[in-house]
Structure 1
Amino acid sequence: MSDAAPPEVPRRADLDLLRVLLCGAVLLIHALMVHAEDPRYHVKAPESWWPATLLSHGLRVGALAGFFALAGWGSVGALRRRRAGRFLGNRAARLFVPLAAGLLILGPVIKYIELGQGRDLRLAGFRLVEPLAMPFGDFLPRYLTRLSLLTWSHLWFLAYLLLLTVLLLPMLAALARRAPLQRVPSRAAIWLPGLGLGFWLAVSGGYWPALHNLVQDWANLGHFALCFLAGAVLASWPGLEARLRAEAWTLAGLFLAGLAGLLLFGPSLPGRIAVGICAWGAIGAGFGLVGRYPPRPSAALRWLADATLPVFVLHHLPLLAVAVALLPLGLPPALAIALTVAGGATVALALHGFLVLPQPALRRLMGLPSGPPALPDAALQTSRL
């Protein structure tokens, strides 16, 4: 493919909004996990709260599926404008660099908090341990010299996304070379991707347990690959996007039906089918609703959309710190969750705006270009994560 790019497409405010909503959902998931039933988390409240369990399941299925789909959509757009080699170099800078920085800078503190809570999430799985009682200065050299202590925490998403980008590059490039397909599929066609995702999870035994350590997580990696490809297909098939907009509320109902099946059947064959249906409902409803009710473009929306990757990288440590500080207070779970989300989001946005953006070196560490931010009119949606 030559470097001569097709005419630049205007930035899509609807997908900017979707990206911001998904990033906010991730923050909420992490706050909910403190109070949800699943024990595999860095910090846990003494007792679980059933609304947190319900919401964490729905958001975890929907937000992750949506984020991978959005990344697939952006990858096809980026490959329309640059060679595969330059595309991979760009993705390495946007994904591998913040992943490595997070392992070395954020990982030690997150692991210190986790062990201090008597919990240990590692490659082999999850276990309860005696709470760590040593100064952080003594723990840091251990973290940096013992592979078993390394944690990528929430940054597993970047590792998975980078791996999928490399593995699926031929398919992404083929979709990018195709002329956009304008034909609008039938209403019946919108059900097929959900059945496909459900079938994969059923035969592979995916979703349960949700321990994203890559080595033992091939079933979920395959699920995320299918979500990623769903977004890539959407980028090459505007007619399918049009169908999603027309059926957006039906797809939202499909998401809720899948969530109900997940909660009803649990870790079983029908439960896993329900997870796939829930994931596709979230992807379809997400793209469909923001396209059906697009926001007005604004500088604030652009700024927030551009901040999603740094905020995603930075938010988890302050969020965990706030959660640890709130637990001894015995607050009602809903209030504790709200304060935890607000605290994590506020610190992450402040770090991004006042520390990361002004410093070229920190911009690179967060996966952003080292130069000053591009002017809004020159920024392309297809170049985003």
Structure 2
Amino acid sequence: MRGRSWTGLPARVLLVAAVVVAASGCGGDVDMARSEASREEATVADAQVAGDIVRTLAAELYASLASGDDGNLVYSPASIAVALGMLRAGATGASADQLDALLGTTGPDQLHPALNAFEQALDARSGERDNADGESADVALSSANSLWAQDGAQWETPFLDTLARFYDTGVRQVDFADAAAARDSINGWVADNTEDKIGELIPPVAFSDATKLVLVNALYAKAPWDTAFHDAGANDFTTIDGDVRQAPAMSLATTFPYQAGDGWQAVTIPYAGRELAMTLLVPDAGAFAAVEGRLDGELLGAVLGNTQTAQVDLQLPKFGLRTATTLSDTLATLGVTAPFDPLTTDFAPMSTDPDIVPLTVGEVRHEATITVDEEGTEAAAATSVEVGQGSAPVDGPVELTVDRPFVFVLHDVETATPLFVGRVTDPLA
């Protein structure tokens, strides 16, 4: 195994997936090592592969993140996938194999073009779009990447080439010995790229002399509904614990993509331009745990790709959620252990600099936030559900009052890629 002779602790890589991004910025002036390689052109086929990757990861993460806790949840499988993709660009051996298995890819020749196409597709979804009334509305959607490395460290040319070609970034130089300044630079970049929705992604005392590299992805979405909802006052909502709460609600009666299955209903609400949508999976009363337990990537793709429509009188609570978590234990339960173990990790494709090797992953941090109201969504996500391939057509109007726990997914329509996923078990919590 390469780079195995060292003294002291292994150098640490911090992997961070931020959620809610838009404007570009670097959080201060820093030097960057970047390849001159041009970004690769994207294909529709590669973007479809990215959809498969992110749906599979979304379901696997949901099963782990939702277990043992009945609270609200929001996370971005897309942001996490991109951050892990950048880590995979510098991995070999067991670390590479385990990341490939988690992401469901055959390797970097498939993974990097797919994630590149996904991010470029997101950029294409931004801008002015016409809503259902023919009025112009602004949709903001972007994914930004940055790597922050110990000043003076040397990085392998193929690694830098991959970052430039597929992730449109390089390596920024900071001094982790000045932990406060390094933290301020990274948090400043994240805040700039999240419209200040996430300002303290890196907590105090996160860095040490062992920290040599931080990989960051930030994903931002803000979009108005294709048809705005109406305020519906306060409606009853029965929480996961059975308590009945009065929650601010909104309503809309129109034609939606809609389907129903064994113990659940699902409705898809488009945003202006109909390139993005939020799908709600609403289990029947008392069936939330059973439906939640049946999620996988294939079924998630089926429910997100539904095109059958119905006239739906929809009422649902407004909600705002935030989840901040570390994913190291979650990834370990999903089979990714080698990157965290100095005896098995191997990031020689990233760097062979004797001053920093061997590199090993120390923490994986993730934070996501979402706000949903009558006008639209800022940084949102939701849904994973089992559905048959083609349920029976729906006759007549449907009344769907979301007065109980539900799952939500903010997703790209063309590729059925989930951007944000979560659940609401108590809209007032």
TM-score (norm 1): 0.29
- The structure in which a higher percent of residues are helix is 1
Please identify the structure whose Cα radius of gyration is greater: 2
- The structure in which a higher percent of residues are strand is 2
TM-score (norm 2): 0.26
